Amino acid sequence: MSNKHNLAVETEAHYRAEAEVRLLEQPRPNAAAEVPDKLLHELHVHQIELEMQNEELRHAQAALEESRDRYVDLYDFAPVGYLVLAADGRIETINLAGARLLGSDRKAILRRRFADLVALEDRDRWHRHLQASQEGDDSPGLELAFIAGDGSFRHVRIDCRRIFAQASPKLRVALTDIDDRVRMEQEQQKAQAALKASLDSLIHSNAELERFAHIVAHDLQEPVRTLVSYTQLLVRGEGDRLSGQGLEYANTIINGAWHMYHLVQGLFDYARITPTIGEFAAVDLNAVAKDALLHLKEKLERSGAELSIGPLPAVMGDPIQLLQLWLHLISNAIKFVRPVQKPIVKISATVRGTEATLSVKDNGIGIAPQYHGRIFELFRHLNAPQKYPGTGIGLALCRRIVERHHGRIWVESEEGQGAVFSFTLPLA
């Protein structure tokens, strides 16, 4: 005997038993004499069974209607659009979210060919995707542009699954709004294009600036050298005929001309410090510091400076610019000391994370705290040029180099207590 038959028998027995119980609870009616008690009893039992079945049917109908209402609410008010396409590509059903995504009224959109709503440039892609989906190809979703009812374009992702209804296959389609994402991507592309254009313009401007600075430096330095040379020739050849004041004037001309020469050279060096994006390489700072000491050998010997260098790491950078950085910081540490004071310079490094902090410590005249931020400005002099000559470009050049290496530079000092210049560089 089948399970289905057994279930039917059990259900019938259940109804029978329940009807018998309910019949016992009811008052016994006055039966007609000609109606046998057994027949009357059976009629009452069947009546109660029918009432029970009707009651269960009413409950089932109510539950079914409630379930249907929940489904309709879920279907219509889901955040994703749903529709069913017939075999000919026409819209058979569509929920409210789908109609809203496509920018049309639901009644107006039913029975329309879905392809008519797709933007012209995307229709070929849609037709290929439709054919593949109808053939059972569960290919990835497709992103398309649609023409909304107001004529605007909307971007939607489409996912299709084939379903079978009688003889003809249909498609169940999910529509996801990607308008905001597409708009953000378009804005990002525009921003990237604008950034690239700005970067190209900056690179071109930097190249032009360097070329201009080179020309200006060359054209200015040449007459300065001529001025110095002829003034020196004048002093050597006609010095015995010049008065003491005349010789003083000549020396002033020579000193001023040399100052101008170094100033122009400093400006040229400053202008050449431009971003070298993608051109940084691993640089051994120990080797760079050694080169700096060779360049400063005469100055170190003349000043009697005592210099110590701890182990230095390898960093990412431009070796020529980093050499300039060491030269300026060590030169300043030697220069800014009290008269007859022996310069003591200590160079050290600490490593933390992905960057190194380098420090140049001296025992010089120090810097008052209120000037710590100003000393890195171009042409900034804190001391009398006669006592501590210079162009006022060195520390500005140092800051420019460090910042071009994506680092920071600062000073810790008190007046009369020496100074510690520190800067960070990315580790190699």
Question: Which CATH number fits the domain that encloses residue 374?
Answer: 3.30.565.10
User: Does one domain contain both 156 and 284?
Assistant: no
Write the pLDDT tens digit of every residue in 19-57: 666 666 666 555 554 445 676 777 777 777 787 788 888
Which residues lie below 8 Å from residue 261, measured CB to CB, with a gap of 6+? 221, 224, 225, 228
pLDDT score of 25: 65
User: Does one domain contain both 133 and 254?
Assistant: no
**What is the number of domains present in the chain?**
4
pLDDT score of 287: 93
User: Does one domain contain both 84 and 71?
Assistant: no
Could you list the residue range(s) of the whole structural domain that residue 117 is in? 78-177
Write the pLDDT tens digit of every residue in 88-117: 999 999 998 898 888 888 888 899 999 999
Q: What does the CA dihedral 161, 164, 168, 173 come to, rounded to 10 degrees?
A: -30
Which residues lie below 8 Å from residue 336, measured CB to CB, with a gap of 6+? 362, 364, 365, 383, 388, 419
Place of tokens 């279907």: 75
> What is the rounded CA–CA span in Å between residue 3 and residue 122?
55
pLDDT score of 53: 81
Domain termination site, one of 219, 244, 272? 272
pLDDT score of 383: 63
List, for the chain, all residue ranges whose pLDDT scores fall below the cut of 50.
1, 33-35, 277
User: Does one domain contain both 422 and 281?
Assistant: yes
> What is the rounded CA–CA span in Å between residue 308 and residue 346?
5
Element (H, E) at 21: helix 3-25
Q: What is the CATH number of the domain that holds 107?
A: 3.30.450.20
Q: Is 389 exposed, middle or buried (0-12, 13-18, 19+ CB in 10 A)?
A: middle
Domain termination site, one of 241, 272, 303? 272
Asked whether residue 188 is domain-assigned, the answer is: no
Asked whether residue 249 is domain-assigned, the answer is: yes
User: Does one domain contain both 247 and 207?
Assistant: yes
Asked whether residue 190 is domain-assigned, the answer is: no
pLDDT score of 277: 47
User: Does one domain contain both 390 and 333?
Assistant: yes
pLDDT score of 33: 46
pLDDT score of 340: 82
> What is the rounded CA–CA span in Å between residue 329 and residue 135?
75
Instruction: Identify the three-state secondary structure at position 380.
Output: coil
Residue 342 DSSP label? P
Asked whether residue 193 is domain-assigned, the answer is: no
Which residues lie below 8 Å from residue 409, measured CB to CB, with a gap of 6+? 376, 398, 399, 402, 403, 421, 422, 423, 424
User: Does one domain contain both 288 and 255?
Assistant: no
C-alpha dist (Å) from residue 147 to 78, 154, 312, 387, 423: 22, 7, 64, 78, 58
pLDDT score of 141: 87
User: Does one domain contain both 116 and 246?
Assistant: no
User: Does one domain contain both 218 and 151?
Assistant: no
> What is the rounded CA–CA span in Å between residue 337 and residue 365?
5
Asked whether residue 182 is domain-assigned, the answer is: no
- Sign of CA pseudo-dihedral 31, 32, 33, 37: negative
User: Does one domain contain both 305 and 400?
Assistant: yes
Asked whether residue 350 is domain-assigned, the answer is: yes
User: Does one domain contain both 36 and 64?
Assistant: yes
Whether the Cβ atoms of residue 417 and residue 366 lie closer than 8 Å to each other: yes
Domain termination site, one of 76, 105, 130? 76
Asked whether residue 183 is domain-assigned, the answer is: no
User: Does one domain contain both 292 and 364?
Assistant: yes
Residue type, 155: H
- As given in the structure block, the two tokens for residue 411 are 């000073």
Asked whether residue 236 is domain-assigned, the answer is: yes
